[in-house]
Amino acid sequence: MKRYIHTADAVFALILFCAFAISMLMVLMTGAQAYQGVRDTVENHYSEDTCISYIAMKLRHYDDEGSSVYIGDIAGLPALYLSESFDGEEYVTAIYFYDGYVMELYAEKGYDFDPEHGFRIVAAREMTVSEPSDGLFRISCVGTGGARAETTLGLRGGGAS
């Protein structure tokens, strides 16, 4: 009779351990699925959010009396131009969409821009910048995941031209 009681205790402890192990695995699997969902959301919105934030930051940087912001083109591609002067020389930063990337090119004004020489900022499907009214810029970007982000930014200083 004593032997039967010890076996029942061992079986109960084994069942309790198995229930604990199964519940622990279920919690880990749920956490991994939640992490994957968050990671996928961040990846899907990374490119368009980065594109919008980057261009908005650049526009804010050039929002002063010594700078000008205007829309033009590089080899037929629409581009946002940010112009500034250093030591009497005028330089421009061009931000444009080329070959699946939002690109940036910084050079002396009058330089004949070649779109492929720009620096890749972020991969995207599309990027547009328009000026619906003087000093008001609308930025739109479609990320690699297909989601669109858009913002409108007004310049307070003398940056718009």
Residues forming a β-bridge with 150? 140
Tell me, yes or no, if the pTM score tops 0.85. Answer: no
Structure token pair of residue 100: 């699946």
Beta strands in the chain (DSSP E): 67-74, 77-86, 89-98, 101-108, 119-123, 126-133, 136-142, 148-154
Q: How many C-beta neighbours within 10 Å does residue 154 have? A: 12
Instruction: For residue 128, give the nearest of 143, 111, 140, 146 by alpha carbon.
Output: 140
Q: Is 29 helix (H, G, I), strand (E, B) or coil?
A: helix
C-alpha–C-alpha distance, residues 36 and 33, integer Å: 5
C-alpha–C-alpha distance, residues 52 and 57, integer Å: 9
Domain limits, the chain? 46-154
Q: How many C-beta neighbours within 10 Å does residue 16 have? A: 10
pLDDT tens, residue order, the chain (161 aa): 455 567 878 888 899 999 999 999 999 999 999 999 898 887 777 888 889 999 999 988 888 877 889 998 888 889 999 998 888 889 999 999 999 999 999 988 888 778 888 999 999 999 999 998 888 899 999 988 888 899 999 887 655 55
* Cβ pair 20, 12 in contact under 8 A: no
